[in-house]
Structure 1
Amino acid sequence: MNEKQFALKDVVEMKKPHPCGENRWRIIRMGMDIRIKCLGCEHSVLMPRREFIKKMRKVIELSEE
């Protein structure tokens, strides 16, 4: 199985868009849970890593680090 690669401060695309209409999210916390922030309305969501990996489609922008 191909493991998805992502890092802190990357911008990712999720399978379903946020209710505000934006589909791009920035990863702001990583650990057992991952917190992502919507780039449209600044709403943040905390979800388990396993659920995040399942719902993430692709990495759009890599972090500068």
Structure 2
Amino acid sequence: MILKFFIGDVVEMKKKHPCGSFQWEIWRLGADIGIKCTGCGRKVMIPRNKFEKSVKKVVKSMAPQDLENLKE
């Protein structure tokens, strides 16, 4: 399954950050994903495949509404 992520999405990870927060905001997309802890503001970069395995769910999506309706 291919997961679609967008800048500004808030995701919940399987493991918590040392500050106690499970939620991260995506700030960069590419081969590496840049995420920012919503608890303390720490920014980290992790490889896309490791990120996709670590995501539990998308808490808040910034997906454009038209993207969900496209069926090509």
TM-score (norm 2): 0.81
* Matched position secondary structure for 1:17: coil
CA RMSD of aligned residues (A): 1.3
Q: In the TM superposition, what whole-angstrom CA distance separates every residue of 1:2-46 from its partner, at most 9, and x where no partner exists?
A: 333321110000000100001110000000000100000000110
Gaps of 5+ in 1: none
2:2 aligned residue: 3
Cα separation, partners in 2 of 1:33 and 1:19, compared to 1, 3 Å: same
Higher strand share: 1
Superposed counterparts of 1:14-53, under 5 Å: 14-53=13-52
Higher helix share: 2
The alignment covers a number of residue pairs equal to 64
TM-score (norm 1): 0.89
Gaps of 5+ in 2: 65-72
Over 3 Å off, 4+ runs: none
Q: Percent identity?
A: 47
Cα separation, partners in 2 of 1:11 and 1:22, compared to 1, 3 Å: same
